[in-house]
Amino acid sequence: MKPVVLLIGRLPNVIGDVARQLDHLPIEWLGAHNQAEVERQLEAEPRIACAVMGAGLDDNVRGALVRVIAARRPDICIHLKDRESGPEGLVPFVERVVQHLVPDEAKTG
């Protein structure tokens, strides 16, 4: 069974692009763009292994989402992308974060 990763970002197309660019990894990707969607995903999918949050969200929103995830699912690791690496840094960041979820025989590069 594939591990499940929740991608959280400001723009739906960015989250979809990340999942498409990393489709070589044996990961099931879920996306969310606001608090309601995050809450819905947390309730609907008990197998979420970690959450990765993009840097495009306002700090207050990011803080609120961290609180929601931590309160509802303290078992989920939450990874926040830095802003300095810019939008082009999102895919490499997500790939580094999820590597520990991928069995060695499935890793590429």
* Domains parsed from the chain with CATH numbers: 4-106 (3.40.50.2300)
Residue with tokens 């044996």: 26
- Contact (CB, 8 A) for 50 and 98: yes
Summarised one tens digit per residue, pLDDT across range 40-97 is 999 999 999 999 999 999 999 999 999 999 999 999 999 999 999 998 999 999 999 9
pLDDT tens digit string along 49-62? 999 999 999 999 99
Per the CB < 8 A criterion, the answer to whether 10 and 54 are in contact is: yes
Shortest CA distance to 66 belongs to which of 3, 2, 6?
6
